[in-house]
Structures are given as structure tokens and as C-alpha cells.
């Protein structure tokens, strides 16, 4: 059984400011929010990243996101929001129990976007990546 911070919250071992709960999911306020109203959505069953989720659980969690985003915007008055799920330490994940951040955004907040981007620079590199991804998805079990 997982003993991450979020697993302990999901089991009820630690308190949280719950905003939405289903049989398989829990949404609560982040105690260290990027902006006030920052919500976290987790599956109650522990999985490390989005890639580790069973499809049915991923679909259930995904079905809750629009409702949570609308509520966060309505309550905070934010004209925008980010929905982010970090997968792995290189991506910034610090709690290894999959979770989505729903972060209300305002024009004058301190969060900076966009991330730096670069070009493939060569169509053959992009085509090779496309082919490899299509093959991986075709052969996925």
C-alpha cells in the first residue's frame, strides 16, 4: 500500500479541504497554492503518473476536470486556468501519486508562461517521431 502524502489524504489519515469526492477520486485545496483556489485532483487508488492509470480510472478523473475548472473560475473570478499533471521528477513531480493541478490564473499573477519552445528543425526528425509514436500506440496492450 502506498504511503505518499496523497495516499494518506485519500485514506483519510491526513486532513484536507475537500471540494469534490467520488468513489474513486478526491479533489481538495492545495495547502501551498500557486494562486488562491488552486485545487488538486487525485485518484484514491495510488498510481505514480498518468501513464500508469487504468483507462477507466483515467476517464473518470478526466470527466471531473471540466466541472472543477468551472467551479475554480467561478469562485475565484479568474479569467483563465492551467490544468497540469507532472509525470516524473524531471517534469517537476514531487509527490509520486498522480495528480492534476487546477490553477486559477489572472493577467497580473506571478506565474510565467510560456515555456521555451524549439523547432524539430528537420521534417525527417518529426516524421520519425510521428512514426515511432504511432507504432507504440498501435502495439500498446
- State the residue range of the domain holding 121: 5-138
Q: Can you give the pLDDT at residue 116?
A: 81
| 99 has catalytic annotation | yes
C-alpha cell at 58: 483515467
Catalytically annotated residue among 38, 97, 99, 117: 99
Which domain CATH number covers 99?
3.30.428.10
Please write the tens of the pLDDT for every residue from 28-79.
999 999 999 999 999 999 999 999 999 999 999 999 999 999 999 999 999 9
Q: What is the mean pLDDT of residues 131-137?
A: 92
Across the range 104-120, mean pLDDT stands at 88
Q: Give the count of beta carbons closer than 10 Å to the beta carbon of residue 137.
A: 8
Number of structural domains the chain divides into: 1
- Of the candidates 18, 36, 42, which has an alpha carbon nearest to the alpha carbon of residue 81? 36
Query: What is d(CA 62, CA 33) in angstroms, rounded to the nearest whole number?
Result: 21
Is the predicted pLDDT of residue 140 greater than 80, yes or no? Answer: no
The mean pLDDT of 88-111, rounded to a whole number, is 96
CA distance 8 to 15: 9
Grid coordinates belonging to 119 = 523547432
Which residue in the block uniquely carries the three cell numbers 479541504?
A: 17
Per cent of the chain over pLDDT 90 is 87
Asked if residue 30 lies in contact with residue 101, where contact means CB atoms within 8 angstroms, the answer is yes
Residue 1 — very low, low, confident or very high, per pLDDT cuts 50/70/90?
low
User: From CA 83, how far away is CA 66, in angstroms rounded?
Assistant: 10
Amino acid at each position: 500500500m502506498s504511503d505518499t502524502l496523497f495516499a494518506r489524504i485519500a485514506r483519510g489519515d491526513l486532513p484536507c479541504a475537500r471540494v469534490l469526492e467520488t468513489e474513486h477520486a478526491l479533489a481538495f485545496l492545495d495547502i501551498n497554492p500557486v494562486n488562491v483556489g488552486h485545487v488538486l485532483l487525485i485518484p484514491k487508488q495510488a498510481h505514480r503518473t498518468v501513464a500508469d492509470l487504468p483507462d477507466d480510472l483515467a476517464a473518470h478523473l478526466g470527466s471531473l476536470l471540466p466541472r472543477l475548472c468551472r467551479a475554480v473560475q467561478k469562485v475565484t473570478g479568474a479569467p483563465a486556468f492551467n490544468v497540469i499533471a507532472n509525470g516524473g521528477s524531471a517534469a517537476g513531480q514531487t509527490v509520486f501519486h498522480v495528480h492534476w493541478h487546477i490553477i486559477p490564473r489572472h493577467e497580473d499573477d506571478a506565474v510565467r508562461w510560456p515555456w521555451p519552445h524549439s523547432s524539430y528543425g528537420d521534417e525527417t526528425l518529426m516524421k520519425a517521431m510521428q512514426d515511432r509514436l504511432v507504432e507504440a500506440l498501435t502495439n500498446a496492450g
